[in-house]
Amino acid sequence: MGLKEVKIKKAYSSDFDNILLDFYIPVLSHSVGYNRLAGFFSSSSLAIAARGISRLLKNDGIMRLVVSPKLRKDEFLFAMAIGFKNKVKPSLKMPKDGFFLTKDLKPEDEALINAMAVWESNSVDVLSNKEEVFKIAEEYAHGGVRILHDSIGSTQFGSFSKQFEKMLHEIHEELMSEMV
């Protein structure tokens, strides 16, 4: 069955339809292209539609997203940790509005960001300049996003998750050996 054979309604409403099951998965499963423009977007929406997207990719399809540069706090911290672990911190050419609202930070999140900034600057004095602290964090997050993008783009479908699992296991083993 091709895309032309998929039954598509003229309109969908979340009040009456399961948009994921009734539209996205069937349509993406038979597509070779997916273009999306979204003012607000998070990676969790990709995770929800993963079944349809995986079939799109199996069809040698291409997905292009134009989305807001805002990241969720957890995505930001994850990317920052990847950049920091790999010592990838490209300087940002333009000032940023910020990836997320700092009011969303928990004390342990701030402690992590502060510790990384102190390590990077080799001085606790950096903590008196919150702009510099967050600049360092954003640069590492940008580096982490680049690493993840390059890793995903350079692997075959499905192999990135195995490589990522291996990397997490190695980090865990390294941490455990340091605790002994």
Tens of pLDDT, residue by residue over 114-167, are 999 999 999 999 999 998 998 999 899 888 888 877 776 655 555 656 676 777
Q: Report the mean per-residue pLDDT for the chain.
A: 79
Contacts of 32 (CB under 8 A, 6+ apart): 56, 59, 60, 61, 62
Between 19 and 175, residue with greater pLDDT: 19
- Helices and strands in the chain: count of H runs, count of E runs: 8, 2
Alpha carbon distance 119, 7 (integer Å): 57
The pLDDT score that the predictor gives to residue 51 is 72
Pairing of strands 62-67, 33-38: parallel
Tokens describing residue 5: 């054979």
Between 105 and 41, residue with greater pLDDT: 105
Alpha carbon distance 58, 54 (integer Å): 6
The pLDDT score that the predictor gives to residue 140 is 92
Alpha carbon distance 89, 105 (integer Å): 21
- Are 76 and 141 spatial neighbours (Cβ–Cβ below 8 Å)? yes
DSSP 138: H
**39-67: b (≥16 Cβ within 10 Å) or e:** eebbeeeeeebeebbebbbeeebeeeeee
Q: Tell me the range of 41-45, 61-65, 69-73 where mean pLDDT is highest.
A: 61-65
This prediction has a pTM of: 0.55
Tokens describing residue 175: 């941490």
